[in-house]
Structure 1
Amino acid sequence: MPVARVSVDVPLAHLDRPFDYLVPAEQDADAVPGCRVRVRFAGQLVDGYLLERAESSEYGRKLTFLDRVVSSEPVLSPEVAELARAVADRYAGSLIDVLRMAIPPRHARAEAKPSPDPGPAPVAPPEEGWARYPLGSHLLEALRSGRAARAVWQALPAEDWPARLAEAAASMASTGRGALVVVPDHRDLARLHAACLALMHEADVVALSADLGPSERYKRWLAVRRGSVRVVLGTRGATFAPVHDLGLVVVWDDGDDLHSEPRMPYPNVRDVLVQRAHLTGASFLVGGFARTAEAQLLVDSGWAHEVVAARDTLRSVAPRVAAVGDNDWQEVKDPAARSARLPSMAFDAARAALSADSPVLIQVPRRGYVPALACGQCRAPARCRRCAGPLALPGGTRDGEPRPAYCRWCGATEAAYRCPTCGSRRLRGQIIGARRTAEELGRAFNGVPVRTSGGDEVLSTVPGGRSLVVATPGAEPVAPDGYGAALLLDGWALLGRADLRAAEEALRRWMTAAALVHEAGRVVVIADSSLAPVQALVRWDPVWHARQELAAREELGFPPAVRMATVDGSRDALAAVLDDLHLPPSGEVLGPVPLDEDRERALVRVARPDGRSLAAVLSELQSVRSARKEPEAVRVKLDPLEVL
C-alpha cells in the first residue's frame, strides 16, 4: 500500500477532495490511516490527515512523497471521518472545516502518556426515575437490550434531568457500549458529570469542555479515542468525540443557540447527532423542558417516539402559572408608572414565597441597568448624534449625580439629548436591565438579600432561604430545594423580537426558569395571556405549542418544513451567485434585501426532499468561485437559526 490519500488542510472549497502521496519506506509503519501528516502542497508545507492507504493512484503523474508523519496516533477514526464527510455535504462545507471541529490540536506530551485500560462495565441503574413516563421504562429496556431507540423526551417540571440522562447513559454503558451526551454549557455539564459519577466509576466517565485547557482536554480526548472511557459528556465541541462502539447519543435542550457552531459550515449539534445515529445505528435521545419544531418534526415523521408524562402526573408536580394580561401591559413596560417594578400579582407571589423561607427567581431579558432608552414624549428610540447607536444608562452616580446616558456603540456620553422628532429632552427606559431590577426590588423588599446572575458573573447555585435572585435567560442558578416563585418579567421584550423563532425561544426560556420552581410554588409571566406561548406555559403544554409552530411553518414555507439557506455578500457578488444558481424544481429565491450599506442577503429554499440537492448546488457554487479566485467572499449558511 504505497499510496497515502490525504485530506489537506487548505481552506479552499475547490480543493475539498483527497490528494495522493507516496509513503517513504522509513515511514511505512507510522503512516497509519487516521494519523497526522505534513505534506508539500502548492509549494508550501501544510498539515493533513491520512485517510487511507492504497495500492495505486489514478492521478497518472509522478506523486510527491509525504514530508513526514507528525504522529502515528490514529486520531481520525473511520466513523468520525464518515460523519465529518456527511456533515460537510449536508451544510455545503468542506471536510477539513469539519475536521478542525472534530479533532483538537495535538499536544505531544499528552500523546506520549498511555491511557488506562477500560474497567468492567457498570451495573444497570434502577428505573424509578423514568417510571413516571409511560414509555420511560421501555426506553431503558431498549438501551440495555441493544435495540436502536430514538426518542424525544419531554421532561417534567422540577425534573432532575441530569439524573435521568445519567441513568440512560449508564444503561447503555452496562452493555459495554459507549454513550455520548451533549449539553449547552459548563454549568449543565458539571451537574451531569456529578450525576454520572453517582452511578458509575470515575474511570468510566469523562467530561470534555473548552475550559479544561488544551493539554488536559487533549489528554481526555485521547482516552476516548483509545477506548478507555465508555461515557463521554461535553458541550458543543464533544459532538464528534470518537467514542468506541457508540450505542447512544443524547442532546439536552436542543433549542439553545449554544448548540449552533459559529464556525463554517455552521452545523447544529442536534442535526449532527441525528446524522451520527443514522450512520452508526446508535440510539438517539433529545430532551428538554420545552420542544423545538425540529424535534417535533422527528416525531411527526415517525423517525422518533415521544416520551411524555401523563397529564395527571404533570398536574401533580407542575407549579401554578399565571399571566398578567393587557390591563397591566403599559404599567409593566413603564416602571415609572408604579412605585415598584412588579405588578400586584407578582408582588404577592414573591411575598408568599419569601414568607415560606424560599428564594424567588426573577428573570429579566436584558442585563445591565437601562440598556435601551426612548424619547419621553414621542417614544422614538433614543439614538447617538455621532453614530446613530442606541443610548443606554450605565447606572451609578458621578459626583453625587446620576451618570448621563451613553452610546452602546461608540461609548460617547450624551448629556444633552434632544429628540430629533419632537424636540423633547426627556428620556424614558424602553427596557429595564437586571441591575436596575435588582436595585428596585432591593427597595421593595427591604432586608431581603438580592443576588444577580448574568453577563460575566453567572451563578451556578444559590443557597436556600429568603433571597431574591435576578437572572438573565440562561443564567438562572439552581436552588437546592427549588424556588418558591418565579417572576418572568418583560415578556414583550422576548416575544417582540424580529425573529422566526421568537415565540419558540421565549417559551423555552420561560419553561427552563419555571422548571426550577418546586411543585408548591408559583410562576407569574408578564405577557398577554391570549398569546400561544403564554397559553402553552400556563397549561405546561410545550408539545401543543411545538405542533402549532411546526404547522405554521409548513404553511408559510419556513424551516424545518423546508430546507433553507442564507447567501450573504456584496451586491455585485450576490447578483453573480444568483445568476449561476441552478436550483431543483422546488427551489425558490427570496430577495435579495440589504443587510447594511455594503452587504445584501438572499434566502434560498427548497422542499425538504431536495435538501441534499440544494447543499450540493451551493457547495459546487462555492467551489467554482474559489477556483476562479473571486475577490469578494460570499457566506452560505444552511438551516440557519436566524432568517429574519
Structure 2
Amino acid sequence: MSSENENVERSGGTEPEQLALIRESVRKAKAPKAKPRTWRGAALAKELPVARVVVDKGVLHLDRYFDYAVPEELDEAAQPGVRVRVRFGAGARNVRDGRREGGGLIDGFLVERCAESDYSGPLAALAQVVSPEPVLDGELLGLARAVADRYAGSLADVLQLAVPPRHARAEKRTSPPAPAPPEAPDAGSWRRYARGPEFLAELAAGGAPRAVWTALPGPLWAEEIARAVQATLASGRGALVVVPAGRPAARVDAALRALLGEGQHALLTADAGPERRYAQWLAVRRGSVRAVVGTRAAMFAPVRNLGLVVVWDDGDGSHSDDNAPFPHVREVLELRAARDKCGFLLGGWSCTVEAAQLVESGWALPVAADREQVRAAAPLVRTVGDDDLARDEAARAARLPSLAWQVAREGLKRGPVLVQVPRRGYVPRLACERCREPARCRHCAGPLEARDSGALVCAWCGRDEAAWHCQECGGFRLRAQVVGARRTAEELGRAFPAVPVRTSGREQVLDTVGAAPALVVSTPGAEPVAEGGYAAALLLDGWAMLGRPDLRAGEDALRRWIGAAALVRDQGAGGTVVVVAEPTLRPVQALVRWDPVGHAVRELAERAELGFPPVSRMAAVAGAPESLADFLGQVELPPDAEVLGPVPMPSTEPGRARRPGDPPPGERWERALVRVPPGSGAALARALKSAQAARMARGAGAQAGVRVRIDPGDIG
C-alpha cells in the first residue's frame, strides 16, 4: 500500500481520500487500453478479437458481461448468438476488476464481438464454440434483460428459461422454407362480440390492437384464437399464443390445423420431448414458422416480425414460473407487445383484476358480448347455501344436498354430469371429531391425510401415524375436513349404482368424455371436455376455495367455477350448474349472473382503496429470521416503500404440493412484504437486486439464503 493511502487510512479524513480517487481516475483515463491478448499467447482473430460473453452463472453479483479473447481457429464459428464454453475463475483473468476466480469450464452465450476490451490485462481465450447455430439474437437478449430487471433477477436465469437445451440431432436438420401467408379470415364467431370483427380487421391490416377478451362459454374459444392468428399471418407478421397447459394447447393446435393446414405453426410444449421441441423452436428462430402455440416457456419464443401475442386464462397459476426470477406470462407478453409494438390479446372465460386494470388504464380495450348473448350461452346457475344445508336431511346424512342430487339425476337422463371437487385424493384433510382441531404429525406438525387403505400419513414428511390422538382434548376419533375426488367418486357410485363414475385429476387427467350418461369427478383445472357439453355440473365444497386466507381466494374460486360451468350446455339445452356455497358472497353472485368482469372491476376498486396489488407493486422477501433481518437492514429501499412484517410463514400450505423456493420442512422462515405506489416498481426491483447481489458477493447467500419474489402470486 502506498504512503498516501496509509495517510488516508490513519487520518480518516475525506479530502485526502477524494484526492486519491481523483488521481486514480486520471491515471486510468490516461492509461492506453491494452490490445487484447491471451495469457497463454495464443494467436488471436485478426478482426474483432474480443468476445463479450454472458456466462451461465445465475448469481446476481456476476450479472454482467465478461470479455474473452477469440482464438484464430474459432474466428469463423464464434459469431454473436452462439453457445460457447469459457474458462471462468482462477487463471481466467477476464473479470474486469482484475480478480482471479476459480477456473472451471462453464457454458455461456457470445453476445457480441469487439475490437478492444475495457480491461487492460490479458484475457482468457474462448475454450470452445459448442455449436455454430446462433440461438440468441439481439431482440431475445433485450427481452431477457428487461425481464431480469423487472423481476430483480439475473440475465443468466432468464436465458435458461428462454433458450431450450441444445439437441445436436435437431440442429443438424434443415428447416423448410416459410409457407406463403394465408388469406385474411372471415370474422366467424367473433361477430358475437362487440369490437370483435374490428379487432380481426385491424390485425389483418397490419395494426397492433390491444384487447381484453371475455370469451363466451363453450368450445369456440380455440377457433376464435386461431382466427386471430390467421389474421396476423395474413398481414405478413408472426403470432404467439401461450396457454396454461398441454390440453388447451392441443385444442388451439387442432383449431389452427383445421383453419390453416400443416406447416403454418409450431407447437411448443413439454409433452413433445426435448428433441422435437428443440427442432420446433429452431424452426421458429430460423423463420420457417411464423406462428407458435405453447405453454409457459413459449412466452420467450423467438417469433420473427411479431404481430400478435395472446395469453389465454391469465389467472391460472401455471402461467407463473416456479424458477427464478419467477416471471409471469402476462407480464412478459405485455413487455413484448410494448417493445415490438405488436397486438395484444388477453382472453379467458373469467377476468382477473390485472386484466380489468389494463382496460381501466386505457392500455387495452374490452372485447365482450352483450348481456343477451351471455344469458343465452351460459347455463342456469343455482346455489345451495348454509341455511339450505341446515334444513336438508340428505345433506346432513351425505355430502350431496338434495338439490344437487336432483339436478344430477335429471342431468344423467340427457348426458354426462360433471362434479368438481376442490381437493384430489381420498380424505386429504382430517380433524378431531370432538374439538375439530386439525390432525397433525407428531414429528413435523404437518397435516395428516387418509389413504385408500385407511392408514394415516403425514402430507409433509410421509411418516405413518398409527396411534394418533388429539393433543388438545385427547380424542381418538377423526372426521373429514375436506373430502377428496376419489372419496367423492366412491360416494357417488353408491348413490347412482347404475351409472359409470370416472375421475380426472393429478394422477390421471382425462382429455374428453363421450356423450353417454356418466358421472365425471374432477379437480379444478382437470375437467375433460364432454362431447356436446355436460348436461349438468355440481360444484361441491365451495367454502374450501372461498375460505383460503388469500387475497385472490374469491377471484380464483370464480375462475375455477366458470371454467367448469363453461363446459356445460346452455340454458336452452337444459344445462344446469349447482354451486354449494353461500349465495350472498360476491363470487357466487358473479357466477349466478355470469359477470366475471363486474367482479374484477369491484375487486380492483377495493384494492386501489387499500393499496393492494396490482394497483401497488409488491415484493415478498423470505428467509430465516436472522438472514431476513440482515437483508432488510442493508437494502436501500425507495423513500415511498412500506415494509409489512416480517411474519412467520408455514413450511407449505395445507393441500398444496411443495414448489421450488418453499422453505425446507421443519425450518422456521419469516416473510416481509415490501409495497411501493405506482411508478416506483422499477426502483424497488433495482434496490432489492442490488442488496441481494451485495449479500451474495460477501458470501452470505450461500450460508443463509434470502428469497426475493417480485409480484408474488400469494400474499395472504
Would you say same fold, with TM above 0.5?
A: yes
Tell me the amino acid that sits aligned with residue 572 of structure 1: E
2:399 aligns with 341
The equivalent residue for 1:489 is 540
Q: Counterpart in 1 of 2:429? A: 372
Which residue is equivalent to 1:639? 711
SS at match of 1:31: coil
Partner of 1:305: 365
For the pair 1:463 / 2:514, whether they are aligned, the reply is: yes
User: Residue in 1 aligned with 2:687?
Assistant: 617
SS at match of 1:474: coil
Q: 1:354 aligns with which of 396, 412, 416?
A: 412
TM-score, normalised relative to structure 2: 0.86
Q: Is the 8 A contact 2:458 2:465 kept in 1?
A: yes
User: 446, 449, 453: which one pairs with 2:500?
Assistant: 449
Q: After TM superposition, give the deviation of residue 130 of structure 1 in Å.
A: 0.2
CA distance in 2: counterparts of 1:613 and 1:166, whole angstroms: 39
Matched, 1:261 2:321: yes
1:275 aligns with 2:343: no
Q: Which runs of 5+ in 1 are unaligned?
A: 397-402
Within 5 Å, give how 1:176-575 maps onto structure 2: 176-329=236-389, 337-338=396-397, 340-356=398-414, 358-396=415-453, 403-519=454-570, 520=573, 521-575=575-629
Distance 1:582 1:174, change over 3 A: same
| CA distance 1:406–1:33, shift in 2 (3 Å) | closer
Deviation at 1:406, TM superposition (A): 3.5
The Cα of 1:428 is off from its aligned counterpart by 1.3
Give the corresponding residue for 1:626.
696
Which deviates more from structure 2 when the two are superposed, residues 455-464 or residues 25-34? 25-34
Q: Structure 1 residue 2: deviation in Å?
A: 2.4
Whether contact under 8 Å (1:183, 1:189) holds in the other structure is yes
Residue number in structure 1 paired with 2:3 = none
CA contact (8 A) 2:58 2:155 kept: no
Return the match for 1:172 from 215, 225, 232: 232
8 Å CA contact 2:143, 2:336 repeated in 1: yes
1:506 alignment partner AA: A
Aligned mates of 2:531, 2:181 — CA distance in 1: 32
Please tell me the residue identity of whatever aligns with 2:297. Answer: G
Q: Separation in 1 of the partners of 2:696 and 2:648?
A: 24
Cα 1:15–1:404 change in 2 (3 A) is closer
CA distance in 2: counterparts of 1:480 and 1:256, whole angstroms: 24
1:17 aligns with 2:71: no
Aligned equivalents of 2:467, 2:69: Cα separation in 1: 72
* Post-superposition offset of 1:359: 0.6
1:120 aligns with 2:175: no
Sequence identity percentage: 58
- Worse-superposed segment, 465-474 or 209-218: 209-218
1:592 and 1:406 mapped to 2: Cα distance? 32
Among 68, 74, 98, the residue aligned to 1:27: 74
**Larger deviation, residues 589-598 vs 518-527:** 589-598
**Cα displacement string for residues 346-403 of structure 1 (whole angstroms, at most 9, x for unaligned residues):** 11211121122x110000000111111112222221223444332222235xxxxxx3
Q: Using the alignment, how far apart are the partners of 2:377 and 2:212 within structure 1?
A: 20
Separation (CA, whole Å) in 1 of partners of 2:474 and 2:155: 57
CA contact (8 A) 2:423 2:484 kept: yes
2:150 to 90, 115, 130: 90
Structure-1 separation of matches of 2:152 and 2:130: 29
* Matched residue SS, 2:498: coil
Distance 1:61 1:284 in 2: 48
* RMSD over equivalenced CA pairs, Å: 1.6
Distance 1:128 1:54, change over 3 A: same
State the distance in 2 between where 1:121 and 1:439 align. 53
Contact 1:329-1:527 within 8 A present in 2 as well: no
Residue number in structure 2 paired with 1:36: 83
CA–CA separation in structure 2 for the residues paired with 1:118 and 1:407: 55
TM-score scaled by length of structure 1: 0.96
**Aligned 8 A contact 2:539 2:580 in 1:** yes
Tell whether the 8 Å contact from 1:581 to 1:621 is kept in structure 2 after alignment: yes
**Equivalent in the alignment of 1:6:** 53
Asked if 1:582 corresponds to 2:582, the answer is no
SS in 2 for 1:50: strand
Relative contact order: is structure 1 or structure 2 higher (C-alpha 8 Å, sep ≥ 6)?
1
SS in 2 for 1:58: coil
Matches within 5 A, 1:97-136: 97-136=157-196
Q: Is the 8 A contact 2:590 2:599 kept in 1?
A: yes
| Partner Cα distance (2:462, 2:76) in 1 | 60
Deviation at 1:563, TM superposition (A): 0.7
- Asked if 1 retains the 8 angstrom alpha-carbon contact of 2:649 and 2:670, the reply is yes
1:592 aligns with 2:646: yes
Alignment-mate amino acid for residue 556 of structure 1: L
Give the residue type in structure 1 aligned to 2:448. Answer: L
Q: Using the alignment, how far apart are the partners of 1:343 and 1:300 within structure 2?
A: 41
| 1:598-631 Cα shifts (integer Å, max 9, x gaps) | 3211111101200000011011111111211113
Alignment-derived partner of residue 607 in structure 1: 677
CA distance in 1, matches of 2:191, 2:645: 51
**1:260-314 Cα distance to aligned partner (Å, 9 max, x none):** 0000000000000000111111111110011111111111111001101011111
Does the 8 Å CA contact 1:341/1:441 hold for their aligned counterparts? no
Alignment check: 8 A CA contact 1:371 1:432 kept = yes
Question: Partner letter of residue 53 of structure 1?
Answer: R
Could you say if the C-alpha distance between residues 8 and 560 of structure 1 is closer, same or farther in structure 2, counting changes exceeding 3 Å?
A: same
Q: What's the CA shift for 1:416?
A: 4.5
- Tell me if structure 2 keeps the 8 A contact 1:205–1:232: yes
* 8 Å CA contact retained: 1:122, 1:201: no
Matched AA of 1:616: R
CA distance in 1 between counterparts of 2:668 and 2:457 reads 27
Do the aligned residues in 1 keep the contact of 2:52 with 2:67 (CA within 8 Å)?
yes
1:124 is paired with a residue whose SS is coil
Aligned partners of 1:404 and 1:414 also within 8 Å: yes
